Structure 1
């Protein structure tokens, strides 16, 4: 009982401190320490019995594993975004888009850009780095409140594309070895759900932006923004080349190099930017340095939260919660969805929710006759619901490290589009499966 109270309290405190803007490098390990203390985990590895977990080891395993897996992508992605912004390439692309779809559709351009990159195989974290400079430029030209940028980035990245049939993102691939399915599992239902999420989500985003503008909100420039004004910009089609390079290389090498394809793709994007837009960069060394600092902040904040999940997974309360959720009575699709979305919420990771739950769910539900394709799609969709709570890794990175917004300003809109909309999409999928689609 004490372990469960500690887990819930630690998670609630972490969310509260995150929203209040407390440094995550302090807040996350502190909350993890409270969880470990109430669960009877040894503090140091030297004090733990052989084979038992400890607070320090569990936290640092989660922290270090994330850095190991993602640091280079964060680093090169941040530098790529900085080069695109400082060279004016992002402004050039933004101008081209504005001339064709109009300033009033600026948010739609951001959503679509993120969707194309995400569905093309670019990592979710990297998409935010790559598209943010263009988003900043578009929102400035349209004089829209910049606090909506994280929501536009998140909606285009972690909702209708991340969990859809055919998506190369890991959230759509994790179920395959457990269920014997393909990335296109239940594509008919997935297509209907994705279209509904796009239509409803964008309508909601646009409505909230228009409401804010009607109240007098507008774009507020900051000293850290890329220089604008009357400077000469690179050719629009040349400016598209770095983005196309990232998309093309990532798509071409996704299967052979898997996650490492992103390193090659982003390096390619950086090189193409330097080759074609070098004359538009005032200080390449400074741009790279600032991008590096941004990457360190982003990967540090995200790793800090992942470390909390590493401790949470070692507690008795977490094991008990998983056991209860994976054995819920009633429709097995609902039980599976609840288990995965809650675990994803606790760990702050969509992939974590699936990785922990599917080894337990898949054999049981397959044995009782649940169609594998349906379970695959529900697993993918449910993993993308509560992973976007305030402490989620992508959420922290996008709002604080990339967009540098305050949680109280940006998260209500962000949460509406990345938690509520995916939840409605999940419900729609379960309903469609229940009527035989």
Structure 2
């Protein structure tokens, strides 16, 4: 009982502290300590046998594991974003988009850029780094409240693209191992759900922005914003070339190198930016340095939350919660959706929710004769809902480290688009599969 109080209380505390703006490098360990104390978990590795759970060991395993897996991608992604910014390429592309689509289509351009990169296999974290400079420039020119930039980036990355049929993102691939399906499982329903999330989410996003503008909100400049280049800018079509290089390299090497394909893709993007726009740089190496600092802050914040998840998963209450969620009676599609979504919320990770729930769910449901393609698609979509609570690593990185916003200002819009819209998408998918569509 105390362990469950600690688990739920620690999660609530982490969300509250995150919303209040506490530094996550402090909030993460503090909330992990709360969970450990209520669960009676030993605090130090010296107090247990080798391999047994303890606060410091489990927290640092989660923290360091994330850094080891993602540091180079964060580093190169942040540098790529900064060199696009410093060379004027982001300004050039954004001005071209505004000229072609008009100021009213600035948000659409950002969503589309994120969607193309995400569906092309570029990591969600890297997409945010890469598109942010263009987003700032577009919001500035359209005079839109910048607190909506995180929601715009997130909507284009983690809703209708991340969990759709054919997506190369890991959230669409994990079920394959357990269900024997393909990345295109349930594609008919996936298309309908993706279109619903895309159109409804875009309508909701633009409605929120329009109401804010009507209240008098405008774009607010910051001291660390890049200076607007009113002089010569690089060719906008050539400035898009680095983005194309990242997308193309990621696609070509994805199957052979998996996550490591991003290293080649981002290096290619940085090199392409330098070659195409080298005469427009203010200071290439200053941009590289700024990107490096940004990457360290971003990965530190995210790893702090992952460390909390490492402790939460090791306490007895977590297994109790998993057992409860994976034994929900009734429709397997509803049970699977609830189980994966809740576990993803507890861990702050869509992939974590799938990886924990599917080894338990899959054999049981397959034995019952559940349509595996339907289960694959429902599980995939549901993993991208409650995972986007305020403590989620992607949310923290995008809101805080990349966009420089606070959760109080930016999260309401992010939560609406990345929690509520996907939950509606899950419900729609279950209804469609229940009607026999795509089965």
TM band (smaller chain): over 0.9
Q: How many residues align?
A: 437
- 2:87 matched to 1:84? no
Q: Once the 2 structures are TM-superposed, how far is the Cα of residue 49 of structure 1 from its aligned partner?
A: 3.5
1:319 aligned residue: 319
Q: Deviations over 1:252-288 (max 9, x none)?
A: 1100111000000000000001111111111111111
Q: Quick one: distance in 2 between partners of 1:308 and 1:198?
A: 32
Q: Quick one: distance in 2 between partners of 1:47 and 1:243?
A: 51
Q: Quick one: distance in 2 between partners of 1:220 and 1:394?
A: 24
2:431 aligned residue: 431
Normalised by the length of structure 2, the TM-score is: 0.99
Q: Deviations over 1:212-245 (max 9, x none)?
A: 0001000011111111041311001110010000
| Local SS of the residue matching 2:240 | helix
| Local SS of the residue matching 1:263 | helix
Q: Quick one: distance in 2 between partners of 1:408 and 1:320?
A: 32
Q: Once the 2 structures are TM-superposed, how far is the Cα of residue 193 of structure 1 from its aligned partner?
A: 0.1
Q: Once the 2 structures are TM-superposed, how far is the Cα of residue 408 of structure 1 from its aligned partner?
A: 0.8
Moved more, 49-58 or 30-39: 49-58
- 2:146 matched to 1:146? yes
Q: Quick one: distance in 2 between partners of 1:187 and 1:153?
A: 25
Structure 1 residue runs without a partner (length 5+): none
Q: Quick one: distance in 1 between partners of 2:333 and 2:371?
A: 10
Contact preservation (8 Å) 2:348, 2:388: yes
Written as runs of structure 1 = structure 2, the 5 A alignment for 1:315-394 is: 315-394=315-394
Q: Quick one: distance in 2 between partners of 1:233 and 1:329?
A: 61
2:267 aligned residue: 267
Q: Quick one: distance in 2 between partners of 1:427 and 1:118?
A: 23
- 2:94 matched to 1:94? yes
Q: Quick one: distance in 1 between partners of 2:243 and 2:284?
A: 19
1:407 aligned residue: 407
1:110 aligned residue: 110
Contact preservation (8 Å) 2:88, 2:229: no
Structure 2 residue runs without a partner (length 5+): none
1:72 aligned residue: 72
Q: Quick one: distance in 2 between partners of 1:287 and 1:234?
A: 17
Normalised by the length of structure 1, the TM-score is: 0.99
Q: In angstroms, what is the RMSD of aligned CA positions?
A: 0.7
Q: Deviations over 1:175-200 (max 9, x none)?
A: 00100000000000000000000010
Contact preservation (8 Å) 2:39, 2:316: yes
Contact preservation (8 Å) 2:312, 2:347: yes
Q: Once the 2 structures are TM-superposed, how far is the Cα of residue 98 of structure 1 from its aligned partner?
A: 1.0
1:48 aligned residue: 48
Q: Quick one: distance in 2 between partners of 1:90 and 1:393?
A: 26
Written as runs of structure 1 = structure 2, the 5 A alignment for 1:227-266 is: 227-266=227-266
